A = this chain, B = another copy of it.
Amino acid sequence: MAAELTAHELIARHRPTLDQALEAIRTRAYWSPHPEHPKAYGENGSLDMAAGKAAFDALLGTRLDLGQPGTDGWVDGETSPYGVELGVSYPHADLDELLPAMRAGMRAWRDAGAETRAVVCLEILKRISDRTMEFAQAVMHTSGQAFMMAFQAGGPHAQDRGMEAVAYAYVEQIRTPDTAEWTKPQGKRDPLALSKQFVPVPRGIGLVIGCNTFPTWNGYPGLFASLATGNAVLVKPHPRAVLPLALTVQVARQVLSEAGFDANLVALAAERPGEGIAKTLATRPEIRIIDYTGSTGFGDWLEANARQAQVYTEKAGVNTVIVESTADYKGMLSNLAFSLSLYSGQMCTTPQNLLIPREGIATDQGPKSFDEVAADLARAVDGLLGDDTRANALLGAIVNPDVKARLEAAGGLGEVVLASREITHPEFPGAVVRTPVIVKLDGSKPDAEAAYMSECFGPVSFAVAVDSADDAAELLRRTVREKGAMTVGAYTTSPEVEETVREVCLEEAAQLSLNLTGGVYVNQTAAFSDFHGSGGNPAANAALCDGAFVANRFRVVEVRREA
């Protein structure tokens, strides 16, 4: 079959972008090829907001037939956190048929080489980018994110993370040359001479286990890292967030096919309610790589049991912000208020424990007592979310009943500084929208420890009274070491305190944001520049994205012969 898209065309189309991505991961300066303003969409073949909505609406209640081999039925059942039944049905796979079919195209994909794989991946990302507004709806109605966030985080930011993985994968594969001539002098005798060929070979089939809250953002790095290194990729979405990844698989299959490769290099494994196929899949011998985002329990299970695979996990942590002193009290409060509110705190990067000295802090507004800081922060959150329209635009919907239950129970853990408030969504009355709760805890009380040393995923944070900055740093150290952390924040005007906190973060391998008071938040990272997670503490065994994230997804086979 002649390819509709030749490698030559794709290289011409995407090589300049790849080169920019390679430069970005080297300098880590700001770069993104994916616009994050809605107005940028609607031109050059991309859907605008209305067209994206129309495309999404047209999907509802339909069967998404991906043309996968081994389809033995259809599964559906997604309900939007906004209350809408999606009614989209997806293929259910007979693994004994699908997995061998996925392997069939791997040889040609391997032989295509790193550059062709990279530009095919970039073409997939380009097609996804064109449908960003459709994906935004799909992410919104599976994760519960508010539209703007679903659009940005689920669209351009996710695409950035995917492209970043492609760039790392590409550069890793070309570190070893395709061939080498090796000539070793032998004194007066003829030199020894060998011709060597080095071939990057894939490990097998990569499995991506998606999460409910960030199906594309957390799914793309592993998907593209595995695909770009020559592996096939099976995508097992979260049962409540299938659509964004099913559309991704659909696009990938179409591009692969047009480029002359086997569409089955990428496939979907949707599951029946309660089927729990992740464990079965994760231990199949064909699965040699796993990328997982989700609970610590299952992540630990994967690391212990999927021994035939390279396992990359992003699990849960307990994120800390130390509030010791600040030169911009208002900026600090508004920055923190935003981080606590965005997507109802349902981010793995949302701060949970705010450690504040019990004797209060120094600020540009004069000294503030512990209670004042807690109350002012509560007021800042209240102010940010006081208008229901803005609150809905920031908070999104509570993603599942467990989060709601934790939120409702949080009031019993200590003194409530800020109570959660129910907000009605004007367009989606079925949405569960809640403002965050802030609870005061005394860090020296053993009974408080059970609360602040556990992850309470959702819009719950604790203002924890600590004895001193050193006490805060030691609690930070213990929290990161025992529970892990995706993010750490600190507010301090003291060089000594800053150095102490920095040293804890270096020793415990936690990513640190210092004194953020403007429009960058501790819970956000930018692809090509910020690392997401460190891979060095219990919250995640990998970082997005670095050499270690891609280097073991392929191996180099050497074929040598006498020259």
Contact = CB atoms under 8 A, between A and B. Distances in A.
A30 to B, nearest CB: 5
A531 B558 CA distance: 7
Given A203-B536, A547-B172, A552-B548, A557 B505 contact: yes
A556 B529 contact: no
A196 B63 CA distance: 47
A551 B240 CA distance: 35
A511 B199 CA distance: 10
B531 A562 contact: no
B561 A535 contact: no
Interface in A180-220: 180-187, 192, 194, 196, 198-199, 201, 203
Contacts of A516: 561-562
Interface centre among A177, A192, A505, A506 (most CB of B within 10 A): A506
A559 interface: yes
B186 A506 contact: no
A475 interface: no
A131 interface: no
Interface in A501-534: 502-503, 505-507, 509-520, 526, 529-531, 534
Given A194-B520, A507-B201, A526 B184 contact: yes
A37 interface: yes
Interface stretch (A21-29, A374-382, A406-414): A21-29
Contacts of A138: none
User: Which 7 A-B pairs rank lowest in CB-CB distance, beginning with the nearest?
Assistant: A536-B555, A548-B551, A28-B180, A514-B561, A547-B551, A548-B552, A30-B184
Interface of A: 26-30, 37, 107, 110, 172, 175-177, 180-187, 192, 194, 196, 198-199, 201, 203, 303-304, 307, 502-503, 505-507, 509-520, 526, 529-531, 534-536, 543, 546-548, 551-552, 555-562
